[in-house]
Amino acid sequence: MNGKPVLEVENLSVCYATRRGLATAVDRVSFTIYENEVVGLVGESGCGKSTMANAIMRLLGDGAYVTGGSIRVMGQDVYRLKGDALRQFRWTQMAMVFQGAMNVLNPVKTVESQIVDTLLAHRPGMSKQQARARAEELFRLVRIDPKRLQSFPHELSGGMRQRVVIAIAVALEPKFIIMDEPTTALDVIVQKSILEQIMELRDRLGFSILFISHDFNLVQEISNRVGVMYAGRLVEMSKSASDLALTPRHPYTQGLIRAIPKLTSDDEDIQGIPGSPPSASNRPSGCAFHPRCPYAKPICRTVEPGMTTVAGNLIECHLSEDELRSMTYAER
- Figure out which of the listed residues 41, 171, 201, 319 binds ligand SF4, where binding follows CB under 6 A: 319
DSSP 214: S
CA 314 to chain centre: 18
DSSP assignment of 38-99: EEEEE--TTSSHHHHHHHHTT---TTEEEEEEEEEETTEEGGG--HHHHHHHHHHTEEEE-S
In whole angstroms, how close is the CB of 324 to ligand SF4 at the nearest point? 9
Selection from 55, 143, 45 nearest residue 94 by Cα: 55
In whole angstroms, how close is the CB of 302 to ligand SF4 at the nearest point? 11
Which region among 133-141, 146-154, 220-228, 283-291 touches ligand SF4 (by CB under 6 A)?
283-291
Which region among 47-55, 190-198, 272-280, 296-304 touches ligand SF4 (by CB under 6 A)?
296-304
In whole angstroms, how close is the CB of 295 to ligand SF4 at the nearest point? 4
In whole angstroms, how close is the CB of 256 to ligand SF4 at the nearest point? 12
How many CB atoms are located within 10 Å of the residue 273 CB? 19
Name every residue whose Cβ is closer than 8 Å to that of residue 259 and which is 6 or more positions away in sequence. Answer: 270, 271, 272, 273
Selection from 118, 106, 112, 105 nearest residue 132 by Cα: 112
In whole angstroms, how close is the CB of 82 to ligand SF4 at the nearest point? 40
- Figure out which of the listed residues 287, 310, 314, 327 binds ligand SF4, where binding follows CB under 6 A: 287
Selection from 225, 229, 237, 159 nearest residue 198 by Cα: 159
207 is a site residue for ligand SF4 (CB under 6 A): no
Q: Which is nearer to ligand SF4, 139 or 289 (CB)?
A: 289
Instruction: Scan residues 232-251 and list those touching ligand SF4 (CB under 6 A).
Output: 251
Tell me whether strands 225-230 and 233-237 are parallel, antiparallel or unpaired: antiparallel
Number of residues that bind ligand SF4 (CB under 6 A): 13
Q: Which residues of this protein are in contact with ligand SF4, per CB under 6 A? A: 251, 287, 289-290, 293, 295-297, 300, 305, 317-319
